A = this chain, B = another copy of it.
Amino acid sequence: MFTKNNPHIGARPGTLAIPPHSPEPRIRVTQYSADDVEVFDVEDVSKLPALVKSDYVTWVDIQGFGNEAKLRGVAAAFRLHPIALENAVNVPQRAKAESYADHNLIIARSPVMGDDGDISVPQVCFIVGDGFLITFQERYLGFFDAVRERIQAGGGPMRTHGSDYLAYALIDAMVDRYYPIAQQLSDAIEDLEDWVVANPHPEVLTRIHTIRRQLVVLRRVGHPQREAINMMLRPQSPFFTEPVQVFVRDTRDHIAQIVELIDSSREMASDLADAYLSNVSHRSNEVMKVLTLMASIFIPLTFIAGVYGMNFEYIPELTSRMGYFVVWGIMIAITVFMVFFFRSRGWIGTSKPPPTDS
């Protein structure tokens, strides 16, 4: 799930490695001002720059990378830095924030849990320029529909802020997607708690292992995401205007809370695995004790029976009328002794649990 599409080693910086099976790009433009909003598709990328007009925010949303010429056309139209296009297309990159001469680049990644429980973490690349925002998605990911609807609905601060607020709103929508998955994994751990004590089935451990793997994945993308958002908030950073920074700080707190949830879930998963193993080991010891007791008591008795089963012609005890009963007496004495011995060692009988008030 970590596989990255890399250009061949030694390739020229800026070489694109289009992910296989990425569909033909659909270029969706959303253009709005305080009073006006329009959504339409564009085919001819050379016409894109002409669309940008003052007082309007122009959002160019590129869905699909299946046509290198078209992508390079967009890059040329907006004069993107060659590295910027590489970062947008050679997915997945580490979440990051980078500022170029006349536009900023932000890469955000959002986890998606597949039907098989596997977590993939597709990326979206944001290019924030003066009056425009370009987003690059490998394919239609569905992260942005709610925001587009809000733009069309109007109201709220969206329509009165610039392209930086739009970028914030989209990144915030992506960060929001971490929470339900982290929560689901955290809940799954809590659900397993009871099984660990009551019924230490090996399946429990397999589940814990699976959850831990998913948490490692989440953590691996969550930490750079937090870092990237922090970087956008540095005082000297030209990413966001002051009023939008207030909102971004809120997103930063969300991702921090998520990362902490992930980290404490990992700790709990670890503790739970330990508790499972201890429980299994305790049960195994109990089984062992029973074996030891049975064997230790009956092995000597069986030996005695064996002795008097021997066919020597001359075994004096065998002729004694009381012999059989004496032997039984000896056997019972041995058993009683063993039981007392084991009890004195604390191997028989239930030990007391600590008092509940502690």
A residues near B, CB below 8 A? 2-4, 6, 8-14, 81-83, 86-87, 93-94, 96, 98, 100, 143-147, 150, 156-158, 169, 172-173, 176-177, 179-180, 183, 186-188, 191-192, 195, 197, 199-207, 209, 212-213, 216-217, 219-220, 223-224, 246-247, 249-250, 253, 256-257, 260-261, 264, 267-268, 271, 273-292, 294-296, 298-303, 305-315, 317-321, 323-324, 327, 345-347, 351-354, 358
Q: Which residues in B have their C-beta under 8 angstroms from that of A197?
A: 206
Q: Which residues in B have their C-beta under 8 angstroms from that of A188?
A: 358
Known pairs A9-B173, A220-B260, A294-B296 / 20 extra A-B pairs, C-beta < 8 Å: A2-B186, A8-B146, A10-B145, A13-B156, A82-B157, A98-B250, A191-B354, A195-B354, A203-B353, A205-B279, A209-B271, A213-B268, A219-B264, A280-B282, A283-B285, A302-B302, A302-B306, A305-B306, A309-B311, A312-B317
Bound Cα distance A195, B355 (Å)? 10
The prevalent SS among residues of A at the interface is helix
Partner of A6 from B176, B279, B295, B315 at Cβ < 8 Å: B176
Q: Which residues in B have their C-beta under 8 angstroms from that of A276?
A: 278
> Is the beta-carbon distance between A315 and B309 smaller than 8 angstroms?
no
- Can you pick out 26 interface pairs between chain A and chain B where the beta carbons lie within 8 Å of each other? A3-B187, A10-B173, A93-B257, A94-B260, A191-B354, A201-B353, A201-B354, A202-B278, A205-B275, A205-B278, A216-B268, A273-B274, A277-B281, A280-B282, A283-B346, A291-B295, A294-B295, A298-B300, A301-B306, A302-B302, A302-B306, A305-B307, A305-B309, A305-B310, A308-B312, A314-B324
Q: Which residues in B have their C-beta under 8 angstroms from that of A311?
A: 308-311, 315, 318
Q: Smallest CB–CB gap between A135 and chain B, Å?
A: 15
A278 with B277, Cβ < 8 A, contacts A6-B179, A288-B292, A309-B310 known: yes
